[in-house]
Structure 1
Amino acid sequence: MALDQQTSLSEDETDTVLARHETGVLSLARDDEPYAIPISYGYDSDERRFYLRLVSTPGSEKRQFLSSTPRVRLVVYENEHGVYRSVVAVGRLEEIPRSELTVEHIEQYGEAKRPLFEIWGESKEDLDIQLYQLDPDELSGRHVDVDEALESS
């Protein structure tokens, strides 16, 4: 699939893809070590801001990566009816302390899908749930008609 067959999504198309989904892959890095995890998110298309609830244990690898305040990439993608779309958000996560939560934050986090506790080996009491927002420095989307790309190759 050639790059010239990909087309950038408009802001409205990008927002539509993000609103249609609740999950993506969050990538972090520390030094030369990458770390990527599936996450759920809420998205405010007016502010173009993401809201994330990240669950970890105090000594977990995820917590270690998050504590280094890395730049992150959030990737959301879909492949429907022969059309592939992807959106990439790049920026830094900002932790929102519970003491600073506003009504607007609570509304947005209410829209974010809750993490599935059943996937954790630890009891709920041992899990640390932290709230983050991502105001991306970069937000871009692309799409390609897979059938059309295959026909022209």
Structure 2
Amino acid sequence: MSAPDAVTMDDAERDEFLGSGGVGVLSLGSGDGGTDDPPHSVPVSYGYDERETTFYFRLAVGGDSRKPPLDDRAVTFVSYDTVDGRWHSVVASGSLERTTDDDISTETLAGLDRVGIPLVDIFGRPTADVQFKFYRLVPDSLTGRKESSPDV
């Protein structure tokens, strides 16, 4: 049995797949320049602003969070799912930016109005007890792939 073929999604297909938000996996590099440490990967919810091609994240910080420092951290974000029985995935890479930085706060407010970040409870305690901060990712690289139709 051979593996299914993959094709590139165009921008409209990618934006439709991402919608205004969903869930995926955010991987943060170790930041120390070494290659021995694996990235820190966590499931996250996201908002996606197709107008600005920007992702927004509500990330748990402080307390018992095991994430490395987030400001200007190189990251890769992956969202994937099965649509009509075929796999789809989007991979975005770049650096996280704090949404409270003066130079991006106004455009961030507009972007946050256009997205819907689901609140996913993965913390084992009430989300009201978890400290969150908002970050955004304006990707340096953004690719979408999907399983091809049998007739392609």
Same fold (TM over 0.5): yes
- The Cα offsets for residues 66-110 of structure 1, whole Å up to 9 and x where unpaired, read as 25x4311111111122211110001000012277632x4234335
Residue pairs, 1:1-153, within 5 angstroms: 1-2=2-3, 5-19=5-19, 21-30=21-30, 31=34, 32-58=37-63, 60-62=65-67, 64-66=68-70, 69-97=72-100, 101-102=105-106, 104-110=107-113, 111-116=115-120, 119-121=123-125, 124=128, 127-145=130-148, 148=150
Query: Percent identity, aligned pairs only?
Result: 31
Q: 1:145 to 1:94 in 2, by over 3 A?
A: same
Q: Which structure has greater helix proportion? A: 1
Q: 1:116 to 1:18 in 2, by over 3 A?
A: closer
Q: TM-score, normalised by structure 1?
A: 0.76
Distance in 2 separating the partners of 1:138 and 1:112? 22
Question: What one-letter code is carried by the residue in structure 1 that aligns with 2:137?
Answer: L
Shift of 1:114: 4.7
Q: TM-score, normalised by structure 2?
A: 0.76
Moved more, 46-55 or 115-124: 115-124
Q: 1:16 to 1:122 in 2, by over 3 A?
A: closer
Structure 2: give runs of 5+ residues left out of the alignment. Answer: none
Q: 1:54 to 1:112 in 2, by over 3 A?
A: farther
**SS of 1:106 mapped into structure 2:** helix
Distance in 2 separating the partners of 1:22 and 1:55? 16
Coordinate RMSD, CA, aligned: 2.9
Alignment length (residue pairs): 143
Moved more, 86-95 or 113-122: 113-122
